[in-house]
Structure 1
């Protein structure tokens, strides 16, 4: 093969690799892809994303972004599986165990979310009260945030909460008080139990909880179906 032609091919290949790793809003070196993630997990198993249902079989999944029933009105994931970092899931196990004693359980709307999906959300609805700023990334992109609600184990129905999931309204606020007493009581019960096991509610979304140790985990852009 002609030497100059070989150099040209190598240059093109390198350019394509670089463009594939480029991100519009953030330094690409801050985002972990599948290869970098696997190397990290090998060094520290606590960094692994694990399937929540395998650790908590009784948990209910209603993964809205794996369906068209969401504010984007289209599927954002091609699989109905939910993942989070291992310590996050272990903490959720404790939450679920305590709630079970009250005849209650958890329903999950979303967990780990690839960074590219966060970018799609922002470009559809650039209100950072409800959508993460892609310049910073989301705790979901770190595998350290869970969107969830409470259910009655016997009936399987959700407890009455201030709004539905992904409501872009003031009523969705974690401390909004102009609500029926039962909605406030249910929201506060969820908040109390989640806080006990290391989760903090997002002030603008009663359903969104960040794992308190989130800062020790990197942003990721790994498709859910690749996990």
Structure 2
């Protein structure tokens, strides 16, 4: 098994996920390829509870598409250079001062997901991924009722297994059920 510290390759634990890391191509808000590959790493515990959520979604006729998971510190620095807005892009950490860690992409304790039908076609959600408008918020009422219903269902399942939703981005979930580990710059 390919492991890097607390990180594991999701598809080695369960190959029923659709992995489409948006930053492994130019199909993202930066317009640039940020990651070197589409290999999806995350914290081992985060992967286990994501698999639990995936199994619940599967019973209801859905699959899970992962659009982001572990992110190197250097990638976060690139994002901040492009969009220095704390509402959508976290400021890169000063690792010389940081002593306490929290769940983030930088330690593999966050995932960005959407749901698809069984064939892999994305279902209606409130907005596109990385939509930096109010439409991305779980609280926005200016989106389709169907999209809000899907996002609410996804949030309920993810929170049931140990994640916490980020209210400004319907796709973003923190693993709050495990102890945060230090941030890394392992390249993917």
* Shared fold (TM-score, shorter chain, > 0.5): yes
What TM-score do the two structures reach when normalised by structure 2?
0.90
Which residue is equivalent to 2:129? 165
- For 1:212 and 1:128, the matched residues in 2 are separated by 21
User: Alpha-carbon deviation of 1:175?
Assistant: 1.7
Give the unaligned 5+ runs of structure 1: 1-36, 42-47
How far does residue 215 in structure 1 lie from its aligned partner after superposition? Answer: 5.0
Deviation string for 1:111-156 (max 9, x for gaps)?
A: 0000111011011100110001213787000110001101111x32
User: Given that residues 142 and 214 in structure 1 are in contact (C-alpha distance below 8 angstroms), is that contact kept between their aligned partners in structure 2?
Assistant: no
Q: State the structure with more CA Rg.
A: 1
Match of 1:61 among 4, 19, 23: 19
For the 8 Å contact 2:40–2:70, the answer to whether it is kept is yes
1:119 aligns to what?
77
Change (3 A) 1:213 1:133: farther
- TM-score norm. by structure 1 comes to 0.75
Among 189, 210, 213, the residue aligned to 2:174: 210
- 1:128 matched to 2:86? The reply is yes
1:61-111 CA-partner distances (Å, limit 9, x unpaired): 111111110111111111111000100000011011111111111001010
Task: Please give the residue correspondences for 1:85-96 in structure 2 after superposition, counting only pairs within 5 Å.
Answer: 85-96=43-54
| Residue 115 of structure 2, aligned match among 113, 128, 150 | 150
Q: Distance in 2 between matches of 1:115 and 1:87?
A: 20
Post-superposition shift, 1:207? 0.5
Q: Secondary structure in 1 aligned to 2:55? A: helix
Structure 2 runs not aligned, ≥5 long: 96-102
Structure richer in helix, relative to its length: 1
Query: What corresponds to 1:177 in structure 2?
Result: 141
State the distance in 1 between where 2:11 and 2:139 align: 30
Where has structure 1 moved over 2 Å in runs of 4 or more? 135-138, 213-216
